[in-house]
């Protein structure tokens, strides 16, 4: 057994001693482990520490880019073009920090890099094994995140639940971390579930005890146990869990289900988890400054002055997580405008049969989010036409811009079969097409990584709604798409009244379109939802909701 000693400064290669928090889960998935991890980040940031976050996923995929959004939810995108798990969106919203590719690690990525090294002869003929090669690679990802972020505290969430066969290399790697960086620089937080048994009318702690034992059997003693539950957890139960888990009762934190996830940091603060962590790490004790977050939660819970109905016209109706960052951005924008938002989920596939007037009646705003593939396209085009003609505020995100351009080309510019190359490669007027440099990759069907990804700068045209919303001439937003507005059609679109209000600095790519004679009709080639934060909603979402409110008021009188 190696002796426990601190070798942190030499292994981290940086002057700063990062503190490492590892968050594991037990009993069930879907407990809100991501929200809990993000909330831990939030409360430590509120104590003045710089925080960076990272998620490990067990899948053998290389990244989340090729995962089906209908099964796994939204693919979140970082500034540097990482296609990641949606938990990164929670992290960014809760800690208000731009994360990067090092924040999202999937098992496939780990194996790929080991196999690439093996082929390159890096291992000098040695056998390659899970321990130490895979675990070393995992640890390197952790240290890289610490090095690159230079954060005071790095929080790494381990996806899945303890005991999963597929997750053992992660658990073993985080166990070894104490030998690499010193026990005093590592904290393990385990999040488990305490179910309620209706027959006996009691909460049962056994599953949680067992999951802690599983963790202990793998060599990890948790420092903190967070108990998720749908019911209040009495002190007696807390002591029982503390005893069985071998942790201090102060470090067993009950976390009952709450009406808004944004309340979780406040609950953790109520149980002084921030102070517990600061003491454990022997960090400088600072004052807690989370007033604006507490205020946010109070505003979320308060009745609102205004009401709004918004249609989200999409095709993944069974899996609302597909549009998670979009709905979070909308909610923040609605809160900013003191407005209770009702989102009507309109299935774009069914829309042509229902007719736009029927499907979109009584809505004050229409949003067409991003998407891939042909299914449901014609319904979205009808929704964009309806919004344009009836002067209903419209926000088109990525595909939503492309839809607006196709609609305008067909119905205003009279380019009859106008379409995107993605949906009809034989169309005469491909107003949306693939960028020439991407075409080769597409033809070879290299889907993973063949997109315009991550942050791109955009220059806004003075006097437009986009420029007014952002209040600046130059912005940066995140992208994830293959197709672009076809420059060949820019002249005719503009001649007929479509305003190109944003382009890349070299003017080669259209980034934003809008109409001057409409209260708010804006389509963007990027995804502003990824940079929207609860306390600072994305400017376009904010103005979109404002315009929708202005429209709804006279109608409701």
205, 237 Cβ separation under 8 angstroms: yes
Task: Compute the least distance from the CB of residue 320 to ligand GLN, in Å.
Answer: 17
DSSP-derived letter for residue 536 is B
Contact residues: ligand GLN, CB under 6 A: 370-372, 398-399, 422, 480-483
Q: For ligand GLN, which is the closer residue by CB, 231 or 372?
A: 372
Q: For ligand GLN, which is the closer residue by CB, 79 or 422?
A: 422
Q: For ligand GLN, which is the closer residue by CB, 302 or 374?
A: 374
Q: State how far the Cα of 372 lies from the Cα of 316, in Å rounded to an integer.
A: 11
Look up 398 and say whether it is catalytic. yes
Task: Compute the least distance from the CB of residue 532 to ligand GLN, in Å.
Answer: 16
Q: State how far the Cα of 370 lies from the Cα of 352, in Å rounded to an integer.
A: 19
Q: For ligand GLN, which is the closer residue by CB, 23 or 77?
A: 77
Handedness of CA 193, 198, 204, 207 (dihedral sign): negative
Contacts of 355 (CB under 8 A, 6+ apart): 382
Task: Compute the least distance from the CB of residue 535 to ligand GLN, in Å.
Answer: 26
Three-class secondary structure assignment of 278-315: HHHHCCCCCCCCCHHHHHHHHHHHCCCCEEEEEEEEEC
Of 398, 407, 429, 479, catalytic: 398
Q: State how far the Cα of 526 lies from the Cα of 400, in Å rounded to an integer.
A: 10
Q: Is the peptide bond before 132 cis (omega within 30 degrees of 0)?
A: yes
Q: For ligand GLN, which is the closer residue by CB, 313 or 549?
A: 313
Q: At what angle do helices 324-336 and 87-95 cross, to 10 degrees?
A: 30
Residue 534's φ and ψ, nearest 5 degrees, are -55, -40
Task: Compute the least distance from the CB of residue 88 to ligand GLN, in Å.
Answer: 17
Task: Compute the least distance from the CB of residue 374 to ligand GLN, in Å.
Answer: 10
Q: State how far the Cα of 176 lies from the Cα of 136, in Å rounded to an integer.
A: 9
Q: For ligand GLN, which is the closer residue by CB, 254 or 379?
A: 379
Of 263, 339, 527, 543, catalytic: 527
Q: State how far the Cα of 316 lies from the Cα of 67, in Å rounded to an integer.
A: 14
The helix (run of H) or strand (run of E) holding residue 19 is strand 19-25
Look up 527 and say whether it is catalytic. yes
What is the chain's Cα-based Rg? 25
Task: Compute the least distance from the CB of residue 423 to ligand GLN, in Å.
Answer: 9
Task: Compute the least distance from the CB of residue 483 to ligand GLN, in Å.
Answer: 3
Of 263, 269, 484, 529, catalytic: 529
469, 520 Cβ separation under 8 angstroms: no
Q: For ligand GLN, which is the closer residue by CB, 147 or 452?
A: 452
Which residue minimizes CB distance to ligand GLN? 370
523, 515 Cβ separation under 8 angstroms: no
Question: Shortest CA distance to 512 belongs to which of 544, 534, 535?
Answer: 544
Q: For ligand GLN, which is the closer residue by CB, 38 or 346?
A: 346
Q: For ligand GLN, which is the closer residue by CB, 396 or 534?
A: 396
Handedness of CA 335, 338, 344, 346 (dihedral sign): negative
37, 23 Cβ separation under 8 angstroms: yes
Task: Compute the least distance from the CB of residue 74 to ligand GLN, in Å.
Answer: 10
What's the Cα-to-Cα distance from 260 to each of 32, 264, 297, 306, 319, rounded to whole Å?
12, 8, 8, 19, 19
What is 229-260 written as a DSSP string? ESS---HHHHHHHHHHHT--GGGEEEEE--S-
Three-class SS of residue 277?
Answer: helix
Q: State how far the Cα of 521 lies from the Cα of 513, in Å rounded to an integer.
A: 8
Q: For ligand GLN, which is the closer residue by CB, 33 or 480?
A: 480
> Where are the alpha helices (H) located in 462-538, listed in sequence order?
465-470, 490-495
Task: Compute the least distance from the CB of residue 422 to ligand GLN, in Å.
Answer: 5
Task: Compute the least distance from the CB of residue 135 to ligand GLN, in Å.
Answer: 36
What's the Cα-to-Cα distance from 353 to each of 270, 345, 403, rounded to whole Å?
52, 16, 18
Outline where DSSP puts E strands in 444-509: 452-460, 474-481, 483-485, 498-503
Q: For ligand GLN, which is the closer residue by CB, 527 or 551?
A: 527
Outline where DSSP puts E strands in 112-178: 153-158
Task: Compute the least distance from the CB of residue 416 to ligand GLN, in Å.
Answer: 22
Which of the residues are catalytic? 398, 527, 529
């Amino acid at each position: 057994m190696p002796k426990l000693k601190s070798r942190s400064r030499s292994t981290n290669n940086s002057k700063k001693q990062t503190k490492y928090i590892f968050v594991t889960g037990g009993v069930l998935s879907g407990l809100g482990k991501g929200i809990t991890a993000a909330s831990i980040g939030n409360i430590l940031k509120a104590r003045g520490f710089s925080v960076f976050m990272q998620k490990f996923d067990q899948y053998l995929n290389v990244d989340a880019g090729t995962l089906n959004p209908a099964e796994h939810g939204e693919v979140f995108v970082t500034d540097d073009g990482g296609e990641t798990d949606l938990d990164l969106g929670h992290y960014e919203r809760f800690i208000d920090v731009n994360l990067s590719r090092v924040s999202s690690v999937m098992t496939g990525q780990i194996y790929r890099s080991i196999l690439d090294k093996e082929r390159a002869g890096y291992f000098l003929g040695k056998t390659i094994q899970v321990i130490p090669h895979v675990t070393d690679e995992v640890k390197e990802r952790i240290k890289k995140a610490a090095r690159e972020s230079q954060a005071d505290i790095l929080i790494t969430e381990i996806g899945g639940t303890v005991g999963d066969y597929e997750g053992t290399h992660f658990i073993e790697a985080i166990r070894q971390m104490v030998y690499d960086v010193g026990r005093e620089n590592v904290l393990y937080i385990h999040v488990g579930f305490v179910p309620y048994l209706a027959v006996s009318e009691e909460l049962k702690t056994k599953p949680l005890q067992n999951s802690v034992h599983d963790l202990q059997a793998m060599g990890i003693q948790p420092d903190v146990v967070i108990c998720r539950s749908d019911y209040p957890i009495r002190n007696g139960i807390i002591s029982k869990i503390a005893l069985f888990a071998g942790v201090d009762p102060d470090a067993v934190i009950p976390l009952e289900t709450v009406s808004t996830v944004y309340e979780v940091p406040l609950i953790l603060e109520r149980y002084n988890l921030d102070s517990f962590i600061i003491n454990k790490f022997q960090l400088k004790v600072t004052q807690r400054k989370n007033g604006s977050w507490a205020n946010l939660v109070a505003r979320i819970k308060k009745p609102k002055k205004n009401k709004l109905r918004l249609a989200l016209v999409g095709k993944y109706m069974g899996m609302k997580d597909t549009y998670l960052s979009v709905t979070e951005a909308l909610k923040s924008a609605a809160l900013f405008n003191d407005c209770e938002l009702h989102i009507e989920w309109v299935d774009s596939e069914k829309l042509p049969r229902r007719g736009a007037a029927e499907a979109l009646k009584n809505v004050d705003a229409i949003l067409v989010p991003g998407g891939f593939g042909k299914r449901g396209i014609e319904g979205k085009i009808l929704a964009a036409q309806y919004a344009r003609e009836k002067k209903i505020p419209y926000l088109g995100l990525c595909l939503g811009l492309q839809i607006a351009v196709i609609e305008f080309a067909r119905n205003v510019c009279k380019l009859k079969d106008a379409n995107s190359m993605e949906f009809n490669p034989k169309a005469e007027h491909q107003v949306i097409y693939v960028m020439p440099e991407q075409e080769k990759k597409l033809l070879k069907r290299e889907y993973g990584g063949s997109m315009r990804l991550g942050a791109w700068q955009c220059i806004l045209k003075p006097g437009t709604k986009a420029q007014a919303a952002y209040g600046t001439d130059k912005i940066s937003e995140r992208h994830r798409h293959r197709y672009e507005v076809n420059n060949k059609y820019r002249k005719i679109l503009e001649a007929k009244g479509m305003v190109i209000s944003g382009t890349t600095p070299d003017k080669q790519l259209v980034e934003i379109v809008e109409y001057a004679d409409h209260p708010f009709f804006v389509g963007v080639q990027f995804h502003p939802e990824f940079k929207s934060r609860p306390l600072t909603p994305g400017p376009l979402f904010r103005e979109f909701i404002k315009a929708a409110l202005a429209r709804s008021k006279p109608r409701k009188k």
